């Protein structure tokens, strides 16, 4: 996965009084900034450290010192400098972000999560929010919270659709955690379109694209070789099924839809009509399977996923409901209905922090004036964060 770092230094314009010590300190700051821009991090750290002996009240200076140590891979002195910056300015978003990244590398994941969440609260820039959320997704992955990691990446891309590291990490998440190959392929392809061929992850993404395409193509070929299609016969049975469904003769409609699918297993309307007929008759287990079949035939049909997952939840098959909805969320991440349903699934499983996270994501997708916002927001806030 791609780990991102803060790339900007605080200018450290120190509006201090005169005196030889301060003048010498400011000269060291200028030399440190210049060295950092030239990627001479060892010199930058030395100059900022020298300046810090004379100037002790500048959060920007301690932040710059921490960043120089961070680039050198010296995480303990980086942490000390960043904590000093935060003592002087507790809500310093850039310092909180860097501290979160340093804590992540030290495997202090609770501190990393806390620091990055605080940084997010103090950041308005869309790109900065995307970068922080991308870092937070790595922390949640380390904490073995795949739901929260995915939501961080979805929120990152909601903030900045062109933030390439989030596409790469979401692709990796979909491939390795959720076993969603087509969706992983989509994000790897977006990543290589957004970055140059010189990007350190470009080649690895390209290899993943080739492998995923091969896996997907093989699966499709195997499927097509197994089935036999008679579209004309399927169309006749489908018409009969639609007529019977309109007449509310649901058992007979079910038989007609099944015959249509037997003739052509890729007849989406027959699978969807079959599911609706089972649902009307209260045959929820059969409806779930039919909706799942409809979604397999037409992977872009959101209502099939939603109906299958909702019915599975009614049957208390929460693991199955979540699995169905995983693909729906991957294919339509800005659909609020999917987030709301996943919140209910996690609540039913008593996974309350995940229920809250999906509820918060649902609220972020709702229009501001939605009449259901206030009571739903109250419910979400009643759930624990951790």
| Distance separating alpha carbons of residues 169 and 47, to the nearest angstrom | 36
pLDDT of residue 359: 97
pLDDT of residue 224: 86
Question: pLDDT grade, residue 69 (50/70/90)?
Answer: very high
Q: Determine, yes or no, domain membership for 127.
A: no
Q: Determine, yes or no, domain membership for 138.
A: no
Question: pLDDT grade, residue 367 (50/70/90)?
Answer: confident
Residues 18 and 116 both lie in one domain: yes
pLDDT over 80 (residue 22): no
Helix axes 75-88, 93-105, angle to 10 degrees: 150
| Distance separating alpha carbons of residues 287 and 293, to the nearest angstrom | 10
pLDDT of residue 10: 58
Mean pLDDT of 166-175: 97
Question: pLDDT grade, residue 371 (50/70/90)?
Answer: confident
pLDDT of residue 24: 64
pLDDT over 50 (residue 14): no
Question: pLDDT grade, residue 7 (50/70/90)?
Answer: very low
pLDDT of residue 379: 96
Question: pLDDT grade, residue 372 (50/70/90)?
Answer: confident
pLDDT over 50 (residue 191): yes
| Distance separating alpha carbons of residues 247 and 267, to the nearest angstrom | 21
Residues 339 and 325 both lie in one domain: no
Q: Where do the H-state alpha helices sit in the chain?
A: 20-37, 41-52, 59-71, 75-88, 93-105, 109-121, 126-142, 146-159, 164-176, 181-194, 202-226, 231-246, 250-263, 268-280, 284-297, 302-314, 318-331, 336-348, 352-365, 373-381
pLDDT over 70 (residue 13): no
Residues 11 and 118 both lie in one domain: yes
Question: pLDDT grade, residue 17 (50/70/90)?
Answer: very low
Q: Determine, yes or no, domain membership for 130.
A: no
Mean pLDDT of 341-348: 98
Instruction: Specify burial of residue 111 (Cβ count, 10 A radius: 0-12, 13-18, 19+).
Output: middle
Residues 278 and 381 both lie in one domain: no
Domain that holds residue 177: 144-226
Residues 216 and 244 both lie in one domain: no
Mean pLDDT of 32-49: 94
pLDDT of residue 206: 97
pLDDT over 70 (residue 154): yes
pLDDT over 50 (residue 18): no
Residues 113 and 163 both lie in one domain: no
Counting the structural domains of the chain, the total is 4
Of 332, 349, 364, the residue at which a domain comes to its end is 332
Residues 257 and 203 both lie in one domain: no
Mean pLDDT of 93-106: 96
Residues 291 and 370 both lie in one domain: no
pLDDT over 60 (residue 350): yes
- Poorest-confidence range of 23-27, 69-73, 376-380? 23-27
Residue-wise pLDDT tens digits, 228-248: 999 999 999 999 999 999 999
**Domain at 114, CATH number:** 1.25.40.10
pLDDT of residue 9: 57
Question: pLDDT grade, residue 11 (50/70/90)?
Answer: low
Q: Determine, yes or no, domain membership for 10.
A: yes
Residue-wise pLDDT tens digits, 294-320: 999 999 999 999 999 999 999 999 999
Contacts within 8 Å (CB) and 24+ apart, 157-160:
157/130, 157/333, 158/333, 158/334, 158/364, 159/126, 159/127, 159/129, 159/130, 159/133, 160/126, 160/127, 160/129, 160/130
Q: Determine, yes or no, domain membership for 216.
A: yes
Task: Residue 278: name the closest of 252, 257, 250 by CA.
Answer: 250
Of 226, 242, 263, the residue at which a domain comes to its end is 226
The CA dihedral of 202, 203, 205, 209, to the nearest 10 degrees, is: 130
Residue-wise pLDDT tens digits, 257-280: 999 999 999 999 999 999 999 999
Average pLDDT, the chain: 93
Residues 118 and 4 both lie in one domain: yes
pLDDT of residue 71: 95
pLDDT over 70 (residue 5): no
pLDDT of residue 25: 74
Share of the chain above pLDDT 90, in %: 88
Residue-wise pLDDT tens digits, 104-114: 999 999 999 99
Q: Determine, yes or no, domain membership for 282.
A: yes
Asked if 324 and 312 count as a contact pair (C-beta separation under 8 A), the reply is yes
pLDDT over 90 (residue 187): yes
Q: Determine, yes or no, domain membership for 325.
A: yes
More confident call, 283 vs 4: 283
Residues 105 and 3 both lie in one domain: yes
Residues 115 and 24 both lie in one domain: yes
| Distance separating alpha carbons of residues 365 and 33, to the nearest angstrom | 41
Residues 278 and 161 both lie in one domain: no
Of 317, 332, 347, the residue at which a domain comes to its end is 332
Q: Determine, yes or no, domain membership for 132.
A: no
pLDDT of residue 295: 97
Q: Whose structure tokens read 């310093």?
A: 92
């Amino acid at each position: 996965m791609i780990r991102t770092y803060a790339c900007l230094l605080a200018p450290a314009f120190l509006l201090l009084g005169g005196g030889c010590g301060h003048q010498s300190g400011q000269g060291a700051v200028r030399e440190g900034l210049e060295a950092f821009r030239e990627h001479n991090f060892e010199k930058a750290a030395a100059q900022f450290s020298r300046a810090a002996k004379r100037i002790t009240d500048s959060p920007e200076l301690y932040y710059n010192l921490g960043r120089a140590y961070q680039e050198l891979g010296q995480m303990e002195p980086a942490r000390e400098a960043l904590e000093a910056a935060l003592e002087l300015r507790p809500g310093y978003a850039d310092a909180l972000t860097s501290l979160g990244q340093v804590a992540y590398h030290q495997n202090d994941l609770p501190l990393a999560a806390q620091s990055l969440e605080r940084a997010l609260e103090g950041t308005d820039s869309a790109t900065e929010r995307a970068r922080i959320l991308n870092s937070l997704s790595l922390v949640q992955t380390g904490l073995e919270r795949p739901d929260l990691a995915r939501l961080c990446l979805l929120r990152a891309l909601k903030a900045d659709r062109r933030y390439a590291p989030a596409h790469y990490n979401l692709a990796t998440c979909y491939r390795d955690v959720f076993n969603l190959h087509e969706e992983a392929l989509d994000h790897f392809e977006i990543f290589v379109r957004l970055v140059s061929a010189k990007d350190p992850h470009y080649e690895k993404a390209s290899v993943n694209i080739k492998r995923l395409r091969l896996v997907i193509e093989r699966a499709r070929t195997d499927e097509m070789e197994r089935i036999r299609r008679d579209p004309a016969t399927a169309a006749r049975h489908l018409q009969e099924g639609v007529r019977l469904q309109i007449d509310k003769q649901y058992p007979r409609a079910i038989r007609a839809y099944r015959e249509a699918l037997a003739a052509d297993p890729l007849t989406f309307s027959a699978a969807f009509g079959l599911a609706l007929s089972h649902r009307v008759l209260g045959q929820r287990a059969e409806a779930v399977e039919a909706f799942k079949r409809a979604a397999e035939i037409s992977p872009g049909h959101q209502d099939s996923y939603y109906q299958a997952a909702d019915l599975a939840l009614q049957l208390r098959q929460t693991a199955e409901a979540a699995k169905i909805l995983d693909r729906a969320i991957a294919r339509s991440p800005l659909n609020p209905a999917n987030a709301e349903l996943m919140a209910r699934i996690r609540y039913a499983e008593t996974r309350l922090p995940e229920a809250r996270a999906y509820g918060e994501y649902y609220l972020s997708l709702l229009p501001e004036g939605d009449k259901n916002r206030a009571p739903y927001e109250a419910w979400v806030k009643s759930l624990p964060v951790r």
